[in-house]
Structure 1
């Protein structure tokens, strides 16, 4: 006697869905396979904070990865990125050998990113501190005291009170301080080169935009110190300039 197989009962709801997903990934593009140099550069840029990226997913851009690098170099690079708080999940671009090594290390191989022409635009002169236009804005209306750190993840940071010496304010976008800025300010923390730092009273200890740092060991000129000012990138140079608020 042959046992009959009953069909599974029909369901009104599907067991799964296929959806498109726009993922926000950090792209890390190494320009050398010298892991010691990369580790030192990351240490300097991140200030030794292993939690700086908070476990963010990353795609490794192998465009400038040298042809002479080995599979062991790729594995070492991934370990270095994980140590810095990134989680590499994919690779793109690069020579066939580098892509094969990345695939062997467990990374998903993405299609090569298309090359785009970059048009440099000269920013218009700022006569006043502009209002932030971002999807996410963190507003702090209390003083940021020495030893405290405030991080606006994914957007701008607005501080309506004093940022004391020894305090640190960080944003993935712009930083606006409508009071004296006396501590450390790091804008464009995830590489946004268009980010700016704006304050009603510039007295900062350290400034950074997209990883380009300037420690203010020497006194600022009288035209900037204690006055309204903005900080922006001009190529790889950090520019500090006075603002006219009238």
Structure 2
């Protein structure tokens, strides 16, 4: 037999569980000058790309790569905080460091948050070389962007930039050389793509780029990019094609270009 009993609760407040949208920056090198240079190269021409987003600094890769004989990397956390703040990021917590690093991070005003889960993409299987149908990747651990898309129905000229924050981007006209399209989700260009296309901009590795005529200056998915300095295969260049990211422990990250048959 079950019994329901009346309870009491405070009249002035309630305690509820909550979740925050957090970005994670996985630090791969203690060299802050290299970090500053690469942040400037990646986002220097996009000053509004971040909007004071809360961020967790993940040191687990530094720990994994350190040998038993090597001394732990010394990190200047106040300098890291200042550098990320300059790029409109708000470092909130740190995870994955050794005892000395975590203590230094806390002294710099960051929270020790080893229980924060930094999600990574599931590794898709290698597609069989003899089959025409691509193998379906396993579902990503990262959450997909919400439904809906930003639709642009005008040509984009050199110097113009469009960013679909938190969703897909659909472009119905040409993306000219020097123009740039960015999306946190997929990018669809139903016209020639001759500028730059950056999909999965906030780290979603399952994002794809689709173009009716693939002639890009640059394509990037989840930070993995390829420029026009490296020629695309003839069966892709100038044809309807798609780009996806394939990752494996053995081969690393690769951009896979596939022709789309009408």
TM-score, scaled relative to structure 1: 0.81
- TM-aligned CA deviation for residue 151 of structure 1: 0.4
Residue 174 (structure 2) pairs with residue 162 (structure 1): yes
* 1:89–1:113 CA distance, 2 compared to 1 (3 A): closer
Does 2:34 match 1:46?
A: no
Structure 1 residues without counterparts, runs of 5 or longer: 1-12, 127-131
Equivalent residue of 2:61, what SS? coil
Structure 2: give runs of 5+ residues left out of the alignment: 1-9, 64-70, 128-132, 136-143, 248-252
Aligned partner of 2:81 in structure 1 is: 78
1:14-52, CA deviations, whole angstroms, 9 ceiling, x for partnerless residues?
Answer: 433333222111001112211112212222333553432
Instruction: Report Cα offsets for 1:82-123 as digits up to 9, x if no partner.
Output: 122211011222211111111111112223346999752237
* Residue 97 of structure 1: aligned partner: 100
Closer/same/farther in 2, CA of residues 232 and 109 from structure 1, 3 Å limit: same
1:23 aligned onto 2:20 = yes
Instruction: Tell me the residue number matched to 1:125.
Output: 134
**Pair 174,58 (structure 1): closer, same or farther in 2 beyond 3 Å:** same
Q: CA RMSD in A?
A: 2.7
Q: Tell me by how many angstroms 1:134 deviates.
A: 3.7
Q: TM-score, normalised by structure 2?
A: 0.76
**Change in CA separation of 1:18 and 1:211 when aligned onto 2, cut-off 3 Å:** same
Residue of structure 2 equivalent to 1:8: none
Partner deviation per Cα, 1:173-218 (whole Å, 9 max, x = no partner): 1111111111110011111121111111112111111111211135
- SS of the aligned residue for 2:150 comes to strand
Rounded to whole Å, the distance in 1 between the matches of 2:147 and 2:121 is: 25
